[in-house]
Structure 1
Amino acid sequence: MQLTKGVEQAICIIVLLSTQDNHNPLASDTISEHLQVSPSYLKKIMRKLVVQNIIRSVPGNNGGFSLAKSPEQITLLEVVESMEGEISIYPDTGLINKVFRDGVHTSKGEAVLHDVFNGANSLLRDYLAKQTAADLLKRTMEQSEIPVLNWNITNPSNQNKKE
Protein backbone atom coordinates (compact mmCIF):
# COMPACT_ATOMS: atom_id res chain seq x y z
CA MET A 1 0.00 0.00 0.00
CA GLN A 2 1.31 3.43 -0.88
CA LEU A 3 -0.34 6.63 0.22
CA THR A 4 -0.96 9.41 -2.27
CA LYS A 5 1.19 12.52 -2.46
CA GLY A 6 -1.78 14.38 -0.96
CA VAL A 7 -0.85 12.87 2.43
CA GLU A 8 2.69 14.23 2.18
CA GLN A 9 1.37 17.63 1.14
CA ALA A 10 -1.16 17.65 4.00
CA ILE A 11 1.65 16.87 6.46
CA CYS A 12 3.70 19.74 5.04
CA ILE A 13 0.73 22.10 5.39
CA ILE A 14 0.42 21.08 9.02
CA VAL A 15 4.16 21.65 9.54
CA LEU A 16 3.84 25.17 8.15
CA LEU A 17 0.78 25.96 10.24
CA SER A 18 2.18 24.31 13.39
CA THR A 19 5.20 26.59 13.32
CA GLN A 20 3.29 29.72 12.26
CA ASP A 21 1.91 32.08 14.88
CA ASN A 22 -1.75 31.03 15.11
CA HIS A 23 -2.78 34.70 15.29
CA ASN A 24 -1.23 35.30 11.87
CA PRO A 25 -2.96 32.98 9.36
CA LEU A 26 -1.22 31.94 6.16
CA ALA A 27 -2.85 32.58 2.81
CA SER A 28 -3.23 29.54 0.58
CA ASP A 29 -1.10 31.31 -2.05
CA THR A 30 1.76 31.61 0.46
CA ILE A 31 1.47 27.93 1.35
CA SER A 32 1.31 27.00 -2.33
CA GLU A 33 4.45 29.03 -3.02
CA HIS A 34 6.38 27.39 -0.18
CA LEU A 35 5.34 23.87 -1.20
CA GLN A 36 5.65 24.64 -4.91
CA VAL A 37 2.29 23.04 -5.72
CA SER A 38 -0.60 24.28 -7.79
CA PRO A 39 -2.89 26.65 -5.84
CA SER A 40 -6.04 24.90 -7.11
CA TYR A 41 -4.78 21.44 -6.07
CA LEU A 42 -3.60 22.78 -2.71
CA LYS A 43 -7.06 24.21 -2.02
CA LYS A 44 -8.58 20.74 -2.48
CA ILE A 45 -6.20 19.30 0.10
CA MET A 46 -6.82 22.16 2.49
CA ARG A 47 -10.57 21.76 2.12
CA LYS A 48 -10.26 18.14 3.28
CA LEU A 49 -8.25 19.28 6.31
CA VAL A 50 -10.87 21.94 7.11
CA VAL A 51 -13.72 19.43 6.85
CA GLN A 52 -11.90 17.15 9.32
CA ASN A 53 -11.36 20.10 11.69
CA ILE A 54 -7.57 19.86 11.51
CA ILE A 55 -7.15 23.36 10.10
CA ARG A 56 -9.52 26.30 9.86
CA SER A 57 -10.16 28.89 7.24
CA VAL A 58 -9.90 32.46 8.52
CA PRO A 59 -11.93 34.90 6.37
CA GLY A 60 -11.01 38.49 5.64
CA ASN A 61 -8.31 40.60 4.04
CA ASN A 62 -5.66 39.24 6.40
CA GLY A 63 -7.23 35.80 6.42
CA GLY A 64 -5.87 32.47 5.40
CA PHE A 65 -5.47 29.23 7.27
CA SER A 66 -4.45 28.27 10.79
CA LEU A 67 -4.59 25.14 12.90
CA ALA A 68 -8.00 24.24 14.33
CA LYS A 69 -6.29 22.51 17.27
CA SER A 70 -2.85 22.25 18.75
CA PRO A 71 -0.12 20.16 17.08
CA GLU A 72 -0.21 17.91 20.17
CA GLN A 73 -3.79 16.98 19.24
CA ILE A 74 -3.21 16.30 15.54
CA THR A 75 -2.34 12.68 14.80
CA LEU A 76 -0.94 11.21 11.63
CA LEU A 77 -3.99 8.93 11.57
CA GLU A 78 -6.26 11.98 11.24
CA VAL A 79 -4.13 13.39 8.46
CA VAL A 80 -3.93 10.12 6.52
CA GLU A 81 -7.64 9.42 6.86
CA SER A 82 -8.58 12.99 5.93
CA MET A 83 -6.77 12.46 2.62
CA GLU A 84 -7.33 8.75 1.97
CA GLY A 85 -10.44 7.82 3.90
CA GLU A 86 -10.51 5.02 6.44
CA ILE A 87 -7.41 2.83 6.29
CA SER A 88 -8.07 -0.47 4.58
CA ILE A 89 -5.07 -2.21 3.07
CA TYR A 90 -6.91 -5.19 1.57
CA PRO A 91 -8.88 -4.42 -1.61
CA ASP A 92 -11.36 -7.35 -1.23
CA THR A 93 -12.45 -7.67 -4.85
CA GLY A 94 -14.07 -11.05 -4.20
CA LEU A 95 -11.42 -12.92 -6.14
CA ILE A 96 -11.26 -15.60 -3.43
CA ASN A 97 -14.67 -16.74 -4.74
CA LYS A 98 -12.99 -17.89 -7.95
CA VAL A 99 -10.46 -19.99 -6.02
CA PHE A 100 -12.91 -21.83 -3.77
CA ARG A 101 -16.11 -22.28 -5.72
CA ASP A 102 -17.65 -24.77 -3.32
CA GLY A 103 -19.04 -22.09 -1.01
CA VAL A 104 -17.83 -23.56 2.30
CA HIS A 105 -14.19 -22.73 1.76
CA THR A 106 -15.08 -19.48 0.06
CA SER A 107 -16.80 -18.18 3.19
CA LYS A 108 -14.00 -19.41 5.42
CA GLY A 109 -11.32 -17.97 3.09
CA GLU A 110 -13.04 -14.58 3.05
CA ALA A 111 -13.38 -14.62 6.84
CA VAL A 112 -9.71 -15.53 7.34
CA LEU A 113 -8.49 -12.81 4.94
CA HIS A 114 -10.75 -10.19 6.51
CA ASP A 115 -9.55 -11.16 9.98
CA VAL A 116 -5.86 -10.95 9.03
CA PHE A 117 -6.12 -7.67 7.18
CA ASN A 118 -8.46 -6.10 9.73
CA GLY A 119 -5.77 -6.89 12.31
CA ALA A 120 -3.15 -5.21 10.13
CA ASN A 121 -5.44 -2.20 9.65
CA SER A 122 -5.85 -1.94 13.43
CA LEU A 123 -2.09 -2.10 14.04
CA LEU A 124 -1.44 0.62 11.48
CA ARG A 125 -4.26 2.81 12.79
CA ASP A 126 -3.06 2.41 16.39
CA TYR A 127 0.51 3.29 15.44
CA LEU A 128 -0.45 6.37 13.42
CA ALA A 129 -2.84 7.49 16.18
CA LYS A 130 0.11 7.68 18.59
CA GLN A 131 2.19 9.92 16.30
CA THR A 132 1.33 13.60 16.76
CA ALA A 133 2.39 16.53 14.63
CA ALA A 134 4.06 18.04 17.70
CA ASP A 135 6.11 14.91 18.42
CA LEU A 136 7.30 14.69 14.83
CA LEU A 137 8.23 18.38 14.65
CA LYS A 138 10.13 18.26 17.94
CA ARG A 139 12.05 15.17 16.82
CA THR A 140 12.81 16.70 13.43
CA MET A 141 13.94 20.04 14.81
CA GLU A 142 15.66 18.43 17.82
CA GLN A 143 13.94 20.85 20.19
CA SER A 144 11.68 20.41 23.17
CA GLU A 145 9.32 23.13 21.93
CA ILE A 146 7.96 23.82 18.47
CA PRO A 147 9.54 27.04 17.22
CA VAL A 148 7.33 29.84 15.98
CA LEU A 149 8.40 30.99 12.53
CA ASN A 150 7.13 33.61 10.14
CA TRP A 151 6.38 31.86 6.85
CA ASN A 152 5.25 35.17 5.38
CA ILE A 153 8.85 36.27 4.86
CA THR A 154 10.60 35.65 1.55
CA ASN A 155 13.25 33.14 2.60
CA PRO A 156 12.07 30.88 5.45
CA SER A 157 15.27 28.79 5.32
CA ASN A 158 17.09 31.67 7.05
CA GLN A 159 14.88 31.39 10.12
CA ASN A 160 16.63 29.85 13.07
CA LYS A 161 15.35 31.79 16.01
CA LYS A 162 12.13 31.89 17.93
CA GLU A 163 10.14 35.08 17.31
Structure 2
Amino acid sequence: MRMSAGVEWGLHCCLTLAWLGDAEAVPTARLAAFFELPPAYLNKQLQALDRAGILTSTPGARGGFRLARAPERITLMDVVAAVDGPDDVFRCTEIRQRAGGASAAAPEFRRPCGIASAMRRAEMVWRRELAAQTLADLMADASAASAERTRRHFARTSR
Protein backbone atom coordinates (compact mmCIF):
# COMPACT_ATOMS: atom_id res chain seq x y z
CA MET A 1 0.00 0.00 0.00
CA ARG A 2 1.32 3.39 -0.89
CA MET A 3 0.10 6.76 0.36
CA SER A 4 0.92 10.02 -1.29
CA ALA A 5 3.69 12.24 0.03
CA GLY A 6 0.92 14.69 0.89
CA VAL A 7 -0.12 12.48 3.81
CA GLU A 8 3.33 12.75 5.40
CA TRP A 9 3.41 16.48 4.71
CA GLY A 10 -0.06 16.97 6.15
CA LEU A 11 0.73 15.02 9.30
CA HIS A 12 3.97 16.92 9.91
CA CYS A 13 2.25 20.26 9.34
CA CYS A 14 -0.59 19.30 11.69
CA LEU A 15 1.92 18.24 14.34
CA THR A 16 3.81 21.51 13.91
CA LEU A 17 0.60 23.55 14.20
CA ALA A 18 -0.36 21.58 17.31
CA TRP A 19 2.98 22.39 18.93
CA LEU A 20 2.57 26.07 18.05
CA GLY A 21 -0.96 26.25 19.45
CA ASP A 22 -3.32 29.06 18.58
CA ALA A 23 -0.77 31.86 18.90
CA GLU A 24 -1.01 32.87 15.25
CA ALA A 25 -1.95 31.47 11.88
CA VAL A 26 1.07 30.06 10.03
CA PRO A 27 1.34 30.83 6.31
CA THR A 28 1.97 28.05 3.82
CA ALA A 29 5.26 29.68 2.84
CA ARG A 30 6.63 29.41 6.40
CA LEU A 31 5.62 25.75 6.71
CA ALA A 32 7.04 25.01 3.26
CA ALA A 33 10.34 26.71 4.12
CA PHE A 34 10.56 24.87 7.45
CA PHE A 35 10.18 21.46 5.77
CA GLU A 36 11.90 22.48 2.50
CA LEU A 37 8.79 21.63 0.46
CA PRO A 38 7.32 23.26 -2.65
CA PRO A 39 4.81 25.85 -1.37
CA ALA A 40 2.25 25.41 -4.16
CA TYR A 41 1.99 21.65 -3.68
CA LEU A 42 1.98 21.94 0.13
CA ASN A 43 -0.80 24.51 -0.11
CA LYS A 44 -2.97 21.95 -1.97
CA GLN A 45 -2.55 19.52 0.93
CA LEU A 46 -3.30 22.22 3.50
CA GLN A 47 -6.41 23.27 1.57
CA ALA A 48 -7.61 19.64 1.57
CA LEU A 49 -7.12 19.55 5.35
CA ASP A 50 -9.05 22.83 5.62
CA ARG A 51 -11.95 21.43 3.55
CA ALA A 52 -12.02 18.39 5.83
CA GLY A 53 -12.29 20.57 8.95
CA ILE A 54 -8.87 19.56 10.27
CA LEU A 55 -7.32 22.98 9.68
CA THR A 56 -8.85 26.39 9.46
CA SER A 57 -7.45 29.07 7.20
CA THR A 58 -7.34 32.81 7.61
CA PRO A 59 -6.97 34.84 4.42
CA GLY A 60 -4.94 37.98 4.03
CA ALA A 61 -1.47 39.31 4.78
CA ARG A 62 -1.55 37.99 8.36
CA GLY A 63 -3.31 34.81 7.31
CA GLY A 64 -2.34 31.19 7.35
CA PHE A 65 -3.40 27.91 8.94
CA ARG A 66 -4.28 26.70 12.43
CA LEU A 67 -5.71 23.47 13.73
CA ALA A 68 -9.49 23.56 13.54
CA ARG A 69 -9.94 21.26 16.53
CA ALA A 70 -8.00 19.87 19.45
CA PRO A 71 -5.19 17.40 18.67
CA GLU A 72 -7.11 14.73 20.62
CA ARG A 73 -9.90 15.02 18.06
CA ILE A 74 -7.76 14.64 14.92
CA THR A 75 -6.92 11.06 13.95
CA LEU A 76 -4.30 9.91 11.51
CA MET A 77 -7.15 8.42 9.47
CA ASP A 78 -8.76 11.88 9.29
CA VAL A 79 -5.59 13.23 7.67
CA VAL A 80 -5.17 10.26 5.31
CA ALA A 81 -8.79 10.53 4.14
CA ALA A 82 -8.54 14.31 3.72
CA VAL A 83 -5.37 14.14 1.62
CA ASP A 84 -5.70 10.85 -0.28
CA GLY A 85 -9.48 10.54 -0.25
CA PRO A 86 -11.83 8.11 1.47
CA ASP A 87 -11.90 5.48 -1.29
CA ASP A 88 -10.92 1.88 -0.60
CA VAL A 89 -7.28 1.15 -1.30
CA PHE A 90 -8.04 -2.13 -3.08
CA ARG A 91 -10.67 -2.23 -5.82
CA CYS A 92 -11.80 -5.63 -7.04
CA THR A 93 -12.80 -5.53 -10.71
CA GLU A 94 -13.98 -9.15 -10.72
CA ILE A 95 -11.46 -10.35 -13.29
CA ARG A 96 -12.32 -13.86 -12.14
CA GLN A 97 -15.47 -13.58 -14.25
CA ARG A 98 -13.46 -13.05 -17.42
CA ALA A 99 -11.17 -15.42 -19.27
CA GLY A 100 -11.21 -18.77 -17.43
CA GLY A 101 -14.33 -17.88 -15.45
CA ALA A 102 -16.34 -16.82 -18.49
CA SER A 103 -17.73 -20.33 -18.89
CA ALA A 104 -18.55 -20.78 -15.17
CA ALA A 105 -22.14 -20.77 -13.95
CA ALA A 106 -23.45 -17.50 -12.49
CA PRO A 107 -24.05 -18.98 -8.99
CA GLU A 108 -20.29 -19.42 -8.65
CA PHE A 109 -19.94 -15.63 -8.50
CA ARG A 110 -22.65 -14.93 -5.91
CA ARG A 111 -20.12 -15.04 -3.09
CA PRO A 112 -17.59 -12.22 -2.89
CA CYS A 113 -14.19 -12.87 -4.34
CA GLY A 114 -11.89 -14.35 -1.70
CA ILE A 115 -9.12 -11.99 -2.66
CA ALA A 116 -11.39 -8.96 -2.34
CA SER A 117 -12.62 -10.18 1.05
CA ALA A 118 -9.09 -10.72 2.36
CA MET A 119 -7.94 -7.32 1.14
CA ARG A 120 -11.00 -5.61 2.68
CA ARG A 121 -10.33 -7.24 6.07
CA ALA A 122 -6.71 -6.09 5.96
CA GLU A 123 -7.72 -2.57 4.99
CA MET A 124 -10.24 -2.39 7.82
CA VAL A 125 -7.50 -3.29 10.32
CA TRP A 126 -5.27 -0.58 8.81
CA ARG A 127 -8.08 2.01 8.95
CA ARG A 128 -9.00 1.12 12.55
CA GLU A 129 -5.37 1.47 13.63
CA LEU A 130 -5.05 4.89 11.99
CA ALA A 131 -8.40 5.96 13.46
CA ALA A 132 -7.19 4.93 16.93
CA GLN A 133 -4.10 7.18 16.74
CA THR A 134 -4.54 10.91 17.27
CA LEU A 135 -2.37 13.93 16.74
CA ALA A 136 -2.17 14.14 20.55
CA ASP A 137 -0.66 10.62 20.55
CA LEU A 138 2.00 11.78 18.09
CA MET A 139 2.71 14.77 20.29
CA ALA A 140 3.10 12.53 23.34
CA ASP A 141 5.44 10.17 21.47
CA ALA A 142 7.64 12.93 20.05
CA SER A 143 10.62 14.21 21.95
CA ALA A 144 10.23 17.38 23.94
CA ALA A 145 13.34 18.64 22.16
CA SER A 146 11.60 18.36 18.76
CA ALA A 147 8.63 20.36 19.97
CA GLU A 148 10.81 23.02 21.57
CA ARG A 149 13.06 23.29 18.50
CA THR A 150 9.96 23.80 16.34
CA ARG A 151 8.56 26.48 18.65
CA ARG A 152 11.91 28.32 18.74
CA HIS A 153 12.22 28.19 14.95
CA PHE A 154 8.80 29.70 14.39
CA ALA A 155 9.34 32.31 17.11
CA ARG A 156 12.59 33.37 15.38
CA THR A 157 11.02 33.52 11.94
CA SER A 158 7.86 35.27 13.10
CA ARG A 159 6.69 37.98 10.75
Fold shared, TM-score > 0.5 on shorter chain: yes
Gaps of 5+ in 2: none
The 8 Å contact of residues 87 and 125 in structure 1, kept in 2 or not, is answered as no
TM-score (norm 2): 0.84
Asked if 1:62 is matched to 2:65, the reply is: no
Question: Once the 2 structures are TM-superposed, how far is the Cα of residue 87 of structure 1 from its aligned partner?
Answer: 5.0
- Opposite residue 156 of structure 2, the aligned amino acid is I
Match of 1:161 in 2: none
Partner of 1:123: 125
Q: For residues 107-151 of structure 1, give each alpha carbon's deviation from its aligned partner in whole angstroms, at most 9, with x where no partner exists.
A: 3353x34433322222111111110011112112269xx768252
The alignment covers a number of residue pairs equal to 151
Extract unaligned runs of 5+ from structure 1: 155-163
Give the Cα separation in 1 of the matches to 2:23 and 2:35: 21
- In structure 1, distance between residues paired with 2:19 and 2:46: 17
Instruction: Find the partner of 2:140 among 126, 138, 145.
Output: 138
Aligned to 1:72: 72
Quick one: which amino acid aligns to residue 88 of structure 2?
A: S
Q: Is the contact between residue 32 and residue 39 of structure 1 (CA under 8 Å) also seen in structure 2?
A: yes
Q: CA deviation at 1:97?
A: 1.5
Which residue of structure 1 aligns with residue 111 of structure 2? Answer: 108
Given that 2:77 and 2:130 are in contact with CA atoms closer than 8 Å, whether structure 1 keeps it comes out as yes
Identity %: 25
Code of the aligned partner of 1:100: G
Q: Cα RMSD between the aligned structures?
A: 2.1
Within 2, Cα distance between the matches of 1:123 and 1:90? 13
**1:152–1:95 CA distance, 2 compared to 1 (3 A):** farther
Q: Distance in 1 between matches of 2:27 and 2:155?
A: 9
Answer 1 or 2: which has greater helix percent: 2
What CA distance in whole angstroms lies between the structure 1 residues aligned with 2:64 and 2:123? 35
Q: Does the CA contact (< 8 Å) of 1:21 and 1:149 recur in 2?
A: no
How far apart, CA to CA, are the structure 1 residues paired with 2:83 and 2:101? Answer: 35
State whether residues 15 and 138 of structure 2, in contact with CA within 8 Å, keep that contact through their aligned partners in structure 1.
no
